[in-house]
Structures are given as C-alpha cells and as structure tokens.
Amino acid sequence: MRRYFGRKLLIYGLTFFLAVTIDWMIPRFMPGDPIANMLSRATVNVENAQLMYDYFEQVFGLDVPLWRQYLNFWAALFRGDLGISVYMFPTPVTEVIMRAVPYDVFLLLPAILLSWYAGNKFGAFAARSKWLDNTVLPIGYILTATPYMWLGILLAWVFGVVLGIFPLAGAYGFDVRPQFSWTFIWSVLKHWFLPFASIFLVRFGGWAIGMRNMIIYELDADYSHYLEALGAPRKLVRQYAYRNAILPQITGLSLDLGIIVAGALVTEVVFSYPGIGTLILQAIQNQDYFLLQGCFLFIIIGVLLANFVIDFVYVIVDPRTRLGMVGETA
C-alpha cells in the first residue's frame, strides 16, 4: 500500500510540475502582448504609454530574466498568488477564479457523481436482459457520442426557447439578489438544471455502457458460474458481479475526469454559466493570459485532487490494494 501511494504521489508530483511549467510558458511565449493590449484600450498619449508599459511590466513581473520569472512563478504559486487579471484589472486572478469556483463545484460534483452512480446501476440492471439491452443501450451509445455543447444547445433551445420552462443563461435571474431566500434558491436551481442535465445525460450513457460490458464479463467468470451451479439466487450472483465490476469503473472515473471537465467547460459556455469555462472563454477573447493561466492551474489542481481522493476510495473498496497484491491499478 505504501508502494501504491508512493507511486501515485510521484506521478501526481511530476504531473503537477509539468503542468505548472507548461502553464508558466503560456503568457511568455504566446503571440500578442497582453500589456500593450490592455493599454490600447485605455487612451493615453505616447509618453505616458511608455511609462505605463514599464510600470505594468514591473507589476506583472516581466522585467527580470526568464529563469528568474520561472522561479518567481513557483514562489508566488506557493503563496497562492497567480498574478493580476489583465481583463479585470486590478483584480487578482485568484480572486476572479475563487468567485467562479463555487459554481463549478455546484455544477460538476452532482453531475459527475450522480451520473456515475445512476449509470452504473442502470448498466448493471440492463446487462443480460434482452429487452433493455436492445432498446435502451443504443440510446446510451448515442448519448456518449453526443458532443456536450450540442446536447446543451438542444436542451437550451427546446426547454429554454421553445417551451420557455427554463432560463437560458447565467446562474440566477437578474431580478433576484444573492441572499438566503426561497426566490433566490429557486432561481439558482432553475438556472442550474439544464447545464446539469446535459453533463449528466452524456456521462450517464458512458457509464451505463461501461458497466453493462463489465457485468457481462463478470457473469461469465468462474465464480459466477460456480455460484449459479450451487443454486445461488440470480440476485446474489449479480451482487458479486457488481462489486467486481465497479472497480474498473472507479479507475475509469479518475481517468475520465479530464474529459468530463473539458465537457463541463463547453457546457458552461453554452449556458453562460459563470464558472471556469466561461472565464476561460473570456480570457481567450480578451487575451488575458494570466487569467487563462490561473484557470488551467486550477483545473489541473482540481483534477489531481479528485484523482487522489479516488485513489483513497479505491484502496477502501478493493482490499487487494491494501495487501499489496496488485501493483497496477491506474
């Protein structure tokens, strides 16, 4: 088990190092000059522009050699300082991101966990039952193949525009103020539902199919046949199969996180949901590299943390990892 976690930590550490390095490179080597860009929006005369340029270069820490900038970047990172947003100057990037994070947690956590749970249950249920297998699983394949944004667009169009049941954009209505009241909570939930539904549906299909295939495989295993031969009830055999089949699905959850996050980002863009996804779009459109940088870093840290949590869950669920019988889990 120590080996298991040691290995994991090494990989996560290296991943983090690599990610931060790539992240640091973004504003330095990307075309376009963010400072000049920002100054061009404020109309100042040429002399002052140069002065301001120097000033901002110093503010953003771009006036020292590259290697120093790299070291400074790491130092600042550990202080939780990700620089200052160009687009929303002078708000620190950390603050901008922290404002968006609650929405992401609120949207992603239920969508990921619920779709995983429901998809697995449903997939296990559908396996080896001819009727469900032939009718519902094709739908599962179609759902996993759907691009997140398209499902989002469709839902927004059908339920938001045609039927007019759900609002189209934002996290809560313009007519309510963030406070603890039923109208506000209702408004938040209404705005939350469609983006949640589109992420949920796409993932649901994927998990259901994966689980169905795993269960079929497990039901063919020797232990299942043995149980059947002993005359064990169908339900019991399935229970054992489910417990074995759930393990790869847990690994799958950690492997798919990156893809799910990418899907969630575009879903947010469709619904203008004020999470990291919308922030990234704004950052790209306004060439706000510091914000872009912060968003990536945040996503990567989030994915790594989630992976780590899943590793813990895996150890709890699968006793073999605890005893060090299998070294290879992810």
Partner 1 sequence: MTNTTERTPKETQPERATSKETRSEFLYFALRNNKLRIGLAVILFFLVLAVVGPWLTDYEPYAYVNPGGAQPPSAEHWFGTTMFGQDVFTQFVLGLRSTFIVGAIGGGLGTLIGIVIGFTSGYQGGIVDEILNVITNIILVIPTLAILLIIAAYLEVRGILMESIFIGFTAWPWAARAVRSQTFSLRARDFVDLAKLSGRNSWKIIFGEIAPNMMSYLLLTFILQFGGAILNAATLDFIGLGPTNAVSLGLMMNNAVMWGALLLGVWWWFVPPGLAITAIVGALYVTNVGLDEAFNPKLREM
Task: Please report, as ranges, the residues that interact with partner 1 according to CB under 8 A.
Answer: 10-12, 14-15, 18-19, 22, 25-26, 29-31, 138, 141-142, 144-151, 153-154, 156-157, 160-162, 168, 206-207, 209-210, 213-214, 216-217, 220, 248, 251-252, 255-259, 261-263, 265-266, 269-270, 280-281, 284-285, 292, 296, 299-300, 303-304, 307, 330
CB of 261 to partner 1, least distance (A): 5
CB of 72 to partner 1, least distance (A): 20
**Pick 26 or 326: Cβ nearer partner 1:** 26
**Pick 84 or 214: Cβ nearer partner 1:** 214
**Pick 237 or 266: Cβ nearer partner 1:** 266
Distance CA 152, CA 136 (A): 21
Closest C-alpha among 229, 220, 2, 12 to residue 127: 220
**Pick 26 or 316: Cβ nearer partner 1:** 26
CB of 217 to partner 1, least distance (A): 6
State phi, psi for 227 to the nearest 5 degrees.
Answer: -60, -45
**Pick 51 or 66: Cβ nearer partner 1:** 66
**Pick 44 or 145: Cβ nearer partner 1:** 145
CB of 219 to partner 1, least distance (A): 11
Buried b or exposed e, range 5-30, using 16+ CB within 10 angstroms: eeebeeebeeeeeebbeebbeebeee
3-class DSSP state for residue 324?
Answer: coil
Measured on CA atoms in the order 206, 208, 213, 214, is the torsion positive or negative? positive
Closest C-alpha among 26, 5, 7, 11 to residue 297: 26
Phi-psi label, residue 128: left if phi above 0, alpha if psi -120 to 50, beta otherwise: left
CB of 206 to partner 1, least distance (A): 4
Tokens of 309: 């949590």
CB of 174 to partner 1, least distance (A): 16
CB of 315 to partner 1, least distance (A): 17
CB 294 within 8 A of CB 96: yes
**Pick 42 or 114: Cβ nearer partner 1:** 114
ω into 319 cis (within 30 of 0): no
